[in-house]
Structure 1
Amino acid sequence: MFQSVEHCVTDSVYQQRLLACTACPKLLNGTTCSICGCIVRIAAKLKERSCPKPSDNRWQLIV
């Protein structure tokens, strides 16, 4: 599933999403989003996911 272009973002977008999450104060232990509880390395790869931070969507401008 994580290799499917149908379900996953490109490697470039994935890396940008991970960088955005790394800079977020809501990231716990470098792995988990404290807002939604997701494992960031998994959620960032999936096209259907978005940043769960309502006031500061860090993935909004990443295309």
Structure 2
Amino acid sequence: MKAIRGKKALEDMIDRLKGLELAMRVCRDRRVVRQLAGRYDRCMQELFAAFDRPFQGQMDPPF
């Protein structure tokens, strides 16, 4: 997982999650929905990992 750095990166991640959620709602193909759900899950893990990661001496927090 790559680190989420800066406010813009956090906003982009949230927009990506919203887009994936919308796509899962409107899609009728179960295989595609499963793929989208996997991407959504990985994005959520990446987002939560950014808040759990120690700052490691950086000036700005990783989110």
User: Do Structure 1 and Structure 2 share a fold, with TM-score over 0.5?
Assistant: no
More helix by share: 2
TM-score (norm 1): 0.34
TM-score (norm 2): 0.34
Q: Which has the higher contact order (CA 8 A, sep 6+)?
A: 2
